[in-house]
């Protein structure tokens, strides 16, 4: 079961990276202005936010195995829809489907990971999230290579969809059936107070990941004068250490427990970003960004694992609430950092992000160890 779920996470990262790596080519083909592209890309976020609550309800009624399989298949099939878009309207509609499938797949595969953890009696959430990160890195490298070889996006994305769909169909067989035999009607759902704590942590750390992706290079180049080539290493350092952290994160979770893990790693992430902002040289700043990656590596997996085990709340609804909050943070984070940088400085804006991550150590008290 663990191998099948790990492959689903890997496919998710590969699909995301396949699309992201070919966005410039699609933009050129459709002659989209930056503003038009930005608006169409918002459709993916909207699709995810719409599908996540629905996926949570369906998981309780049909089981996370079925939601994972169907969401994963649709996510793969959305790639050709994007590649063959003839105009911005088609692209926006295709991105809505892409985002809706991504959201359903995300909720489903995390619910499956919780079920596998329960079956195995040990933590696997960090390591399966590492497979997502590895898929994203591999897909980005492959996409860049194929773009450099001038392989048309329609060819690239169609073949990627076919290959990844085969992996999904093979992996989705015999997933754990975990549906509720007496699902709670949506009108009677009561969200326990502790969900707010997990949702706030997810919001803060998804926001931080978005900020690291969009603003570390700008900070290194504009504030520390690194040059554009070295500036790209900021997000690379963050991502590489995050992958390593996720690969060993399950050991930390089992030794420290979920609550202590959230406390310790939240502080590591916050201290790393604060140190990067105080660093007088580019290389010390890069070390700080690496610490942020280490700290962030297990926070989201721990939040998802805890969200799937809240007493009195179904697994699907708990995961939908926490994951949805995280996606909102990922969406609004980069522009919020930009507004704060405009009002103050980018350095101050990123210190505020560090402060948000530090609150994870306080909010971790809402997490039980069961």
Q: What is the pLDDT of residue 179?
A: 61
Q: What is the pLDDT of residue 100?
A: 96
Q: What is the pLDDT of residue 369?
A: 62
* Joined tokens for residue 147: 């773009």
pLDDT tens, the chain, 370 aa long: 788 888 999 999 999 888 888 888 888 899 988 778 878 888 988 999 999 999 988 988 888 889 999 999 999 999 999 999 999 999 999 999 999 999 999 999 999 998 888 888 888 899 998 998 888 888 888 888 888 888 999 999 999 999 999 999 998 887 777 665 444 444 445 566 678 899 999 999 999 988 887 788 889 988 999 887 788 788 888 888 999 999 999 999 999 999 999 999 999 999 999 999 999 999 999 999 999 999 999 999 999 999 988 887 888 889 999 999 998 998 888 788 989 999 899 999 999 999 999 999 999 987 776 5
Q: CA 253, CA 98: separation in Å to the nearest integer?
A: 32
Q: What is the pLDDT of residue 185?
A: 45
Q: What is the pLDDT of residue 183?
A: 47
CB proximity list for 94: less than 8 A, separation 6 or greater: 78, 81, 82, 85
Q: What is the pLDDT of residue 24?
A: 83
Domains observed in the chain: 2-177 (1.20.1250.20), 192-366 (1.20.1250.20)
CB proximity list for 2: less than 8 A, separation 6 or greater: 116, 120, 124, 128
* Joined tokens for residue 70: 């169907």
Q: Which residues in 8-92 belong to E strands, given as ranges?
A: none
Q: What is the pLDDT of residue 191?
A: 62
Q: What is the pLDDT of residue 39?
A: 84
Q: CA 148, CA 366: separation in Å to the nearest integer?
A: 48
Q: How many CA atoms lie within 13 A of 4 on its CB side?
A: 18
pTM of the model: 0.84
- 45-58: burial string, b at 16+ Cβ within 10 Å, e else: bbbbbbbbbbbbbb
């Amino acid at each position: 079961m663990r191998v099948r779920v790990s492959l689903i996470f890997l496919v998710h990262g590969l699909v995301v990276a396949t699309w992201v790596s070919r966005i410039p080519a699609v933009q050129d083909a459709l002659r989209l202005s930056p503003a038009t592209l930005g608006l169409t890309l918002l459709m993916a976020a909207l699709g995810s936010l719409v599908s996540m609550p629905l996926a949570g309800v369906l998981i309780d009624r049909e089981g996370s195995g079925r939601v994972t399989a169907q969401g994963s298949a649709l996510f793969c099939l959305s790639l050709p829809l994007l590649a063959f878009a003839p105009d911005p309207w088609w692209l926006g509609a295709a991105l809505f489907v892409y985002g809706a499938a991504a959201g359903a797949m995300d909720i489903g595969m995390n619910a499956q990971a919780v079920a596998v953890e329960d079956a195995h009696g040990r933590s696997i959430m960090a390591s399966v999230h590492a497979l997502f990160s590895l898929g994203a890195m591999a897909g980005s490298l492959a996409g860049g290579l194929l773009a450099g070889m001038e392989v048309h996006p329609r060819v690239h994305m169609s073949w990627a969809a076919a290959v990844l769909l085969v992996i999904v169909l093979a992996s989705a067989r015999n997933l754990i059936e975990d549906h509720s035999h007496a699902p709670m009607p949506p009108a009677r759902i009561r969200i326990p107070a502790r969900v707010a704590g997990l949702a706030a942590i997810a919001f803060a750390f998804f926001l931080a990941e978005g900020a690291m992706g969009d603003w570390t290079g700008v900070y290194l180049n504009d504030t520390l004068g690194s040059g554009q080539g070295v500036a790209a290493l900021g997000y690379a350092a963050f991502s590489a250490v995050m992958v390593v952290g996720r690969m060993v994160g399950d050991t930390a979770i089992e030794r420290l427990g979920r609550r202590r893990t959230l406390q310790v790693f939240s502080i590591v992430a916050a201290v790393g970003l604060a140190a990067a902002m105080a660093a007088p040289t580019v290389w010390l700043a890069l070390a700080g960004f690496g610490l942020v990656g280490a700290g962030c590596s297990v926070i989201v997996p721990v939040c998802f694992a805890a969200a799937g085990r809240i007493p009195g709340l179904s697994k699907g609804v708990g995961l939908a609430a926490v994951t949805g909050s995280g996606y909102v943070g990922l969406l609004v984070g980069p522009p919020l950092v930009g507004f704060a940088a405009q009002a103050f400085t980018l350095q101050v804006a990123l210190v505020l992000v560090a402060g948000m991550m530090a609150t994870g150590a306080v909010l971790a008290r809402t997490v039980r160890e069961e």
